Structure 1
Amino acid sequence: MPKAPSSLPVSALFGVAKPSGPTSMSVLDTLKPLIASSRLFVAEKELKKEKGKTRKAKHVKYAVKIGQGGTLDPLADGVLVVGIGKATKKLGEFLDCVKEYHTTCLLGCETDTYDSEGAQVRVAPWRHVTRESVEEALKDFRGELMQSPPIFSALKMDGKPLYEYARKGIPLPRPIEKRKVTVHELELIEWKDSDHGYRYPEKKFTEEQKKAVESALRSVEQAVEVKDEPEQEAPSPQPPTAFILRMKVSGGTYVRSIVHDLGHAVGSAAHVVTLTRTRQGRFALEPTEDTDRGCVPWEAIQEATKDVGEKDDDGWTRWEREVIDKLEIVEDR
């Protein structure tokens, strides 16, 4: 059984195994009342006052800081690094650290968000794509790359989000600035072929929406055309090919862009249907190094929000024990 810190309360970092579905902010909102009512993070005298929180207008202001070191979109699951107290000042280092992901790619369709949460922008042939052709194409995606963020991202150009240009057909004032990123490792770890249950999003771009994207891009790119490329072969009831990639990348890398661009590289289209961050710095879903730290299971957090449960002989509940086992103390408070 992990030993609790000798001096309480503490400022600390720990990883949470975020599930697919909730936003990163909602994960923090779920954690806040638990953190604010635990002697692990809040002084006993503060707990006795207002159970770690004070009321101001209609909002609850907690007596302890909490933040996260790198947002995961609702679709994504995996490692979310959380900082408590003075440890929130250390969260910036996790934005630029090396991260590892597993992602499932579905061929034959690209979407506005580059993942299954978006709408179909266009479809393309996929039956000609083999495992060998994908592995050959991956060679061009390793090492240092200049990567273009998606036009439907929230990044701003002249004060306006890129997605606004794309949706309204406003010409881009200049090309989207590319970012230098590093793909340390990239490999195909599973070829699922058609043995899966993934399907294209039901929502589709209208012809008007496609024209808007073309209009936005034509100001900075030549011969831009957004249109479907039907399969030459007769339609088949079998699902399009899917495969899983494992990658180790630098901070700022768009995993979805790698999948999107890979689809083009093999003469097709592709989007992300699952995305798992398996590692963020020294926090990992499956620790492999002596310096690695695991992640608190989401089930333990959810369970505690309904009923914190009984305390053990040392006065700790299950979720607190899980955190004690995984935390990294930054500075005593």
Structure 2
Amino acid sequence: MSQETIQGVLCMNKPAEFTSFDVIGKLRGILRMRRLGHTGTLDPMATGVLSVLVGRATRACDILPDQDKTYRASVQFGWETDTEDVWGVRTAVYPEMHVTKEALESVLSQFRGEIWQVPPMYSAVSVDGKRLYELARKGVVVDRPARKVQIHTLTLETWNEDAQTAELLVSCGKGTYIRTLLSDIGKALGGGAVMTALCRTQASGFSLEQCYTFEDVKRFCREGSLASHLIPTDRLFAALPALHLTEKQSVLYGNGVKLDLEQIPEYQDSQTEYRVYDAKQVFLGTALAEPENSVLRVGKNFN
């Protein structure tokens, strides 16, 4: 398989002090490929799962059905910073604050399910066309509208009452800021809190155990085994039901022609989005059903 045709997902264990774009840049140098992207930004000091899209898999960036992520986050209670993590400038100290395990576990119940969250100033969120972090670096603070985010699970993993530190496991939906979640938990306990470490353990259905380092990738290139270490592109769409087309339908799909839903036995009335395969089980891409017109149209072609 040539570099021009290779595609799939390369799961990287992002090291600290690298931005997500830094990882892409370094991989472009190692792989000698330009067509790379990722499925979700990680803060520079965070580590863990960064799913890198290779070749035509980059077409999946804006249509991933699984946007859930899981993090292991460390928190220190008793102070605050302008970035909501330990690497920012300290803005407040709460010397009288003393958190107990019972109080912490009681407060956590307030932050499960659908909650409102105000994005931090040091974030890539845009307000009136300006990135918040650009304004924050100039010392400008603006009002940010609160957004709904989903916290699927939030559990206390470790607790040290003497040090006033904890480690939390968080499973959440798209757009959740973990450092803001920890800061808000600190406020709910009557003081403040900062994030001291963050590791993403799962993203887009991929786990930390599936991830590689830069040295691993260099070795794959030397061995000529990179393709065998990529996760197939269709795994990004594992949450979608599959449709298997005939040879004739596959040709029509490849040409962008709408297909007759009545001629597709696997079509489900309750489902509008699918992953599509040809008669030889080759992944073609995604498709969208329009039951009102009784047609299936191409969503994104990966073949």
**CA spacing shift, 1:12–1:152, aligned 2, 3 Å:** closer
Distance 1:151 1:272 in 2: 15
- Aligned pairs for 1:175-214 within 5 A: 175-194=143-162
Cα deviation, residue 7, structure 1: 12
Change (3 A) 1:15 1:176: same
Amino acid at match of 1:188: L
Contact 2:182–2:194 under 8 Å retained in 1? yes
Structure 2 residue corresponding to 1:155, chosen from 125, 141, 148: 125
Q: What amino acid is aligned across from residue 181 of structure 1 in structure 2?
A: V
- Following superposition, the deviation at residue 146 of structure 1 comes to 1.4
Give SS of 1:73's match: coil
Partner residue in 2 for 1:133? 103
Amino acid across the alignment from 1:143? G
- 1:279-294 equivalences under 5 Å are 279-286=202-209, 294=210
Q: Contact 1:99 / 1:249 at 8 angstroms: preserved in 2?
A: yes
Would you say the 8 A contact 2:16–2:46 is kept in 1? yes
Task: Report if the CA contact (8 A) 2:39-2:204 is conserved.
Answer: no
Counterparts of 1:151 and 1:327, CA distance in 2: 35
Q: 1:18 aligns with which of 14, 21, 25?
A: 14
Shift of 1:183: 0.3
Contact 1:126-1:269 within 8 A present in 2 as well: no
Give identity over the alignment, percent: 35
Give 1:269's match in structure 2, choosing from 173, 189, 192.
Answer: 192
Q: C-alpha offsets along residues 46-101 of structure 1, whole Å, 9 cap, x if unaligned?
A: xxxxxxxxxxxxxxxx5x41111111111100000111111101122459611000
Q: CA deviation at 1:255?
A: 0.6
In the superposition, relative to structure 1, how do residues 86 and 326 fare at CA in structure 2: closer, same or farther (>3 Å)? closer
Which structure ranks higher in relative contact order (CA pairs < 8 Å, sequence separation ≥ 6)? 1
Aligned-partner SS, 1:71: coil
> For structure 2, which runs of at least 5 residues remain unmatched after alignment?
235-282, 284-301
CA distance in 2, matches of 1:108, 1:157: 30
Distance of 2:199 and 2:50 partners within structure 1: 11
Q: TM-score, normalised by structure 1?
A: 0.63
Q: Distance in 1 between matches of 2:78 and 2:89?
A: 14
The offset of 1:329, in angstroms, is 3.6
Alignment CA distance shift 1:166-1:6 (3 Å): closer
Checking the alignment, whether the CA contact within 8 Å between 2:98 and 2:164 is kept in structure 1 is: no
Match of 1:215 in 2: none
Q: Give, in whole Å, the separation in 2 of the partners of 1:13 and 1:136.
A: 40
The structure carrying a bigger strand percent of its residues is 2
Match of 1:324 among 195, 204, 228: 228
Distance between the aligned counterparts of 2:164 and 2:74, measured in 1? 10
Judging changes above 3 Å, is the alpha-carbon distance between structure 1 residues 296 and 143 closer, same or farther for their aligned structure 2 residues?
same
